[in-house]
Amino acid sequence: MARPLYAVISLRGISGAAIAIAVILPVMIGVVHSALAGFGHMALLGARGPDLDAWRTLLGQPGLWRAVAVSLWTGVAATMISMGLAFGAVAALQDRVSWLRRVLAPLLAAPHAALAIGLAFVIAPSGWIARGLAVGLGWDRPPELATVGDPWGLALILGLVLKEVPFLIVILLGASTQIAMREQMAAGRALGYGRAAVWLWVLVPQLWPLIRLPVMAVLAFSMSVVDTALILGPSNPPTLSVMVARLFADPDLRAMLPASSGALLQLGLTAMAMGLLWAGASVAGIFARAAMRRGVRLRGLDAWLAVPALLLAGLLFLVVLSLAVLALWSVTFTWRWPDPWPQRLSMAAWQGRAGWLSAAQTAFFIALASSGIALILAIGWLEGGDRAGRHGLRGWMRAAVALPLLLPQLSVLIGLSGLLLRLEMAPMIAVVWGHVLFVFPYVMIALAGPWAALDPRMQRTAAALGAGPWRRLLRVKLPVLLAPLMLAAALGFAVSIAQYLPTMFLGGGRVATLTTEAVALSSGSDRRVAAVHATLQAGLPWLVYLAALILPAVIHRNRRALKGEAS
């Protein structure tokens, strides 16, 4: 039965409006509020700008410029190293793509904070590595080396690289299916170019535009992250993001104004770093083209491709150590320098009233709710697009999903929580909504590809058999898309579990999730309880991923093409 035109358009319209109002607008309003308050205008406080007092207070913070420099340096360095390693590792291991994907997938689910807490213990002067060496080297006391919280932020960079390299590799593997990589490599090799040269002269320039957005998102994240910087970063002064988050928590509410200026400074700094990266890529392109024109074949470089592969192996080893040490600490009673292994094991941290159960339940509920809402919004938009004959992710939505990923969370959330002071919103609702802002883009991006790739003949067949659009959606599309739907939801779940700032800022400390508890406990004296929370924080998304892989395979066990990646 044919439907009237308005009914066909409305689903796209409704879901588009819902996304705009629930996700995009708040993000922009948050930034605008930060901008107003940063220039001294916040009616709630009776501050009527514009003036520069807030900026003066901000600039008067001891160590501000060092904090700015550290943020810029750690963010840019972590991004460049991650990108370089990701390209190098894919170039070195391009024949083992499916193996690579399988190894990296479980690591992607581990949240930054859990990884950082584990890494901090692995690399600390009295950490696992040092304990392993101590007996052999006769170290009576831990070496006097600032390996965590060093003033240069090297530990922070390592922590970020650990997490971003697997992410960028997976992105690169996805992008590399969009270009004729095998053919171009064969052609290049036939012309006498080394593999490294083919990558540098031919493949990287084609892949760069495809991965530019994720790289910029990595940059924005790395420069403005708070939880990882609290755990691994320098302390005196800390990074700009930590400094601004502390200002925000000042008992004097008027500190909201300089905190808002700080949010703007963070925004400007991030934009500047993105510009630098963009310009750097262009300049590199000019040099590369010049070298290419001279026909540099760089065959000697191929031997060096083992370096990024080895570095990747090293990183993965560190990740495994970091996660393993979390599990180990969670069942430890005493474990002192220089023993490489705990003296006494105990389940006390799991059994005690450490509060992990309620934190886990809260985190689970928020993750379930926010990824569910995000999934419904994304399905609404994509299905609406199909019905309107405008398939996939295009138009303003393309830019809109990028926005929450490219803006520093801090800049958005400081403004939003300033606004929330006026609204009587239950903290749990505010937190779920805050999570949706950052979960939705990931779910949308993850779902858009498989949705667009759906074989249109199935729809036509169903329509020819008399199925209306809703019936086609519920009986054909969604069941066929079960595997990608589950994976998108699992990704959203993992993103939500990892969120720190939205929970902290919008929940006002009244909503405790595994992440906020793990971060708070990581600055406590009991590493065992922190390890319990971090283990759960890393384990929960992983279990959900596993379920997302297994369920479609079980449900579609007799449908060969629909089993998803677990088949």
Partner 1 sequence: MNPILTAAALMLSVTPVLSQTWEETLDEARGQTVFFHAWGGDQRTNDFIASVGDEVLERHGVTLQHVRIADTADAVARVLAERAAGREKTGGSVDLIWLNGPNFLAMKDQGLLHGPFVANLPNAQWLDLSEGSANTVDFTVPVEGLESPWRLAKFVFNYDSARIAAPPADMAGWLDWAAAHPGRITHPDPANFMGATFLKQALIELAPDDTDLSVPPTDDSFAKATVPLWHWYDALRPNLWRDGRSFPENESIQQQLLNDGEIDMTMSFDPASAAAAIADGLLPETVRVHVPQAGSIGNVSFVAIPVNAAHKAGAKVVADALLAPATQARMQNIEVLGSFSVLDPAKLDATGQAAFAALPTAPALPALSDLGAVLAEPHPDWMTRLTAAWQDRYTR
Q: Which tokens belong to 36?
A: 């107003």
* Selected range binding partner 1 among 73-81, 153-161, 438-446, 522-530, rule: CB under 8 A: 522-530
Half-sphere exposure of 35 (CA within 13 A, CB side): 8
Half-sphere exposure of 410 (CA within 13 A, CB side): 32
Q: How far is the CB of 256 from partner 1 (least distance, A)?
A: 8
Instruction: Report the distance separating Cα 168 and Cα 177, nearest Å.
Output: 14
According to CB under 8 A, which one of 274, 517, 545, 549 is a site residue for partner 1?
A: 517
CB 382 within 8 A of CB 451: yes
Q: Does 126 bind partner 1 (CB under 8 A)?
A: yes
* Selected range binding partner 1 among 469-477, 478-486, 517-525, 554-562, rule: CB under 8 A: 517-525
Q: Between 91 and 521, name the residue whose CB sits nearer to partner 1.
A: 521
According to CB under 8 A, which one of 264, 529, 548, 549 is a site residue for partner 1?
A: 529
Cβ neighbour number for residue 409 with a 10 Å cutoff: 27
Q: Which residues pair with 344 in a beta bridge?
A: 334
Q: Which tokens belong to 98?
A: 């499916």
Q: Between 139 and 208, name the residue whose CB sits nearer to partner 1.
A: 139
Q: How far is the CB of 76 from partner 1 (least distance, A)?
A: 22
Q: Between 61 and 206, name the residue whose CB sits nearer to partner 1.
A: 61
* Selected range binding partner 1 among 158-166, 288-296, 463-471, 512-520, rule: CB under 8 A: 512-520
Q: How far is the CB of 135 from partner 1 (least distance, A)?
A: 13
* Selected range binding partner 1 among 284-292, 309-317, 438-446, 521-529, rule: CB under 8 A: 521-529
Q: Which of residues 63-102 bind partner 1 (CB under 8 A)?
A: 63, 66
In our burial notation (b when 16+ CB lie closer than 10 A, e otherwise), range 277-287 reads beeebeeeeee
CB 448 within 8 A of CB 481: no
According to CB under 8 A, which one of 30, 149, 153, 188 is a site residue for partner 1?
A: 149
**Cα end-to-end distance, the chain, whole Å:** 37
In this structure, which amino acid lies at residue 465?
L
Q: Does 229 bind partner 1 (CB under 8 A)?
A: no
Q: Does 59 bind partner 1 (CB under 8 A)?
A: no
Segments in 340-355 forming alpha helices (H):
348-351
Q: Which of residues 395-424 bind partner 1 (CB under 8 A)?
A: 421-422
Q: How far is the CB of 520 from partner 1 (least distance, A)?
A: 5
Q: Which tokens belong to 190?
A: 């036939």
Q: Does 106 bind partner 1 (CB under 8 A)?
A: no
- Nearest 5°: the CA angle 219, 223, 227 is 120
Q: Between 328 and 462, name the residue whose CB sits nearer to partner 1.
A: 328
In this structure, which amino acid lies at residue 445?
I
Q: Does 174 bind partner 1 (CB under 8 A)?
A: no
Q: Between 529 and 536, name the residue whose CB sits nearer to partner 1.
A: 529
Q: Torsion-angle region of residue 9: left (phi > 0), alpha (psi -120 to 50) or beta?
A: alpha
Q: Does 7 bind partner 1 (CB under 8 A)?
A: no
Q: How far is the CB of 238 from partner 1 (least distance, A)?
A: 9
Q: Give the per-residue contact string, 250-289, with partner 1 (x = CB under 8 A; - = no).
A: xxxx------------------------------------
Q: How far is the CB of 354 from partner 1 (least distance, A)?
A: 7
Half-sphere exposure of 418 (CA within 13 A, CB side): 34
CB 405 within 8 A of CB 339: no
- Nearest 5°: the CA angle 218, 220, 221 is 65
Q: Does 216 bind partner 1 (CB under 8 A)?
A: no
* Selected range binding partner 1 among 106-114, 138-146, 310-318, 473-481, rule: CB under 8 A: 138-146
Instruction: Report the distance separating Cα 165 and Cα 443, nearest Å.
Output: 20
According to CB under 8 A, which one of 395, 509, 543, 557 is a site residue for partner 1?
A: 509
Q: Which tokens belong to 394?
A: 């295009």
Instruction: Report the distance separating Cα 507 and Cα 366, nearest Å.
Output: 12
Size of the site for partner 1 (CB under 8 A): 50
Q: Which residues pair with 301 in a beta bridge?
A: none
Q: Which of residues 296-355 bind partner 1 (CB under 8 A)?
A: 333-334, 336-338, 344, 346, 352-355
Q: Helices 5-19 and 356-387, interaxial angle, to 10°?
A: 150
Q: Does 138 bind partner 1 (CB under 8 A)?
A: no
Instruction: Report the distance separating Cα 374 and Cα 492, nearest Å.
Output: 8
CB 552 within 8 A of CB 565: no
Q: How far is the CB of 517 from partner 1 (least distance, A)?
A: 7
Q: Between 100 and 532, name the residue whose CB sits nearer to partner 1.
A: 532
Q: How far is the CB of 550 from partner 1 (least distance, A)?
A: 36
Q: Where are the beta strands (DSSP E) in 272-404?
A: 332-334, 344-345
Applying CB under 8 A, the residues found at the interface with partner 1 are 44-45, 62-63, 66, 124-126, 141-142, 144, 146, 149, 151, 234-237, 249-253, 333-334, 336-338, 344, 346, 352-355, 421-422, 427, 508-510, 512, 517, 520-521, 523-527, 529
